Amino acid sequence: MSNINDPDYFHRMTESEYDQAEAELGGKDYPERAWLLSSRDAWYANPSYSGPSVRHPEDNIENEDNNI
């Protein structure tokens, strides 16, 4: 199992794994935010968020009414 204290832990990750780890670690600082934007401009759900369900920031709300 991976250990965050291992000096090579982050070097062995794929970009998406790194982004998810960034969201998990950073999410603790922003528990009021449902979604966090990674340094590579990708949205990740904040595992520290415990509020009501929030749509993904890139969901197109206008198209929902048109069933597109």
Q: Average pLDDT, stretch 38-61?
A: 88
Residue 68's pLDDT is what? 45
| pTM of the predicted structure, to 2 decimals | 0.64
Residue 37 CA to residue 42 CA, distance in Å, equals 6
Domain count for the chain, please give it.
1
**Residue 49 token pair:** 């968020």
Q: Which domain holds residue 21?
A: 12-48
In a domain, 57, yes or no: no
What are the C-alpha distances in Å from 65 to residues 4, 15, 40, 58?
44, 35, 31, 16
In a domain, 54, yes or no: no
What band does 57 get if pLDDT is binned at 50, 70 and 90? Answer: very high
In a domain, 32, yes or no: yes
pLDDT digits (tens, 9 = 90+) for 3-45: 656 666 667 788 888 888 887 788 889 999 999 988 888 888 9
